[in-house]
Amino acid sequence: MAAAAAAGPGGGGGGAPRYSLLAEIGRGAYGVVYEAVSGRNGARLAVKRIRCDAPENVELALAEFWALTSLRRQHPNVVRFEECVLQRHGLGQRMSHGNKRSQLYLRLTPPPWAAPLP
């Protein structure tokens, strides 16, 4: 798969993208996970993009945010919630993977007529 660009929190303006998408590594019921590289520091991470063309997708994402923020103790198999960012085109969430080797970024994408997923 060819490399693609994705703006993250604070991205979308001029200059280099916040993340560069390298390849799709997983697909679920309401989103796609990509291997990516941070434009800021070159770190390898995962980017999870969620389709928000249906209210139930937004509800699922908000339930995931709530569940991750309500954890009192970390488990090695559960991502750690780090930040949630409201963007021009949706809501963003940054998490660390439980194995501490990668970071995840969850981005709720705009409706399909505004910016289709690659």
The answer to whether residue 36 sits within a structural domain is yes
pTM for the full model?
0.54
Q: How many domains does the chain have?
A: 1
Residue 77 in domain? yes
Q: Would the annotation count 48 as a binding residue? A: yes
User: Residue 21 is part of a domain; what is its CATH number?
Assistant: 3.30.200.20
With respect to residue 109, please indicate whether it lies within any of the assigned structural domains: no
The per-residue b/e assignment along 89-116, b for 16 or more CB within 10 angstroms, e otherwise, is ebbbbbbbbeeeebbbbbbbbbeeeeee
Q: Give per-residue pLDDT as tens, 4-21.
A: 445 444 444 556 677 788
Quick one: tokens of 53? 């063309």
Residue 89: which domain range?
4-50+72-101
Write out pLDDT tens, residues 65-103. 788 778 777 777 776 665 554 445 555 555 544 433 333
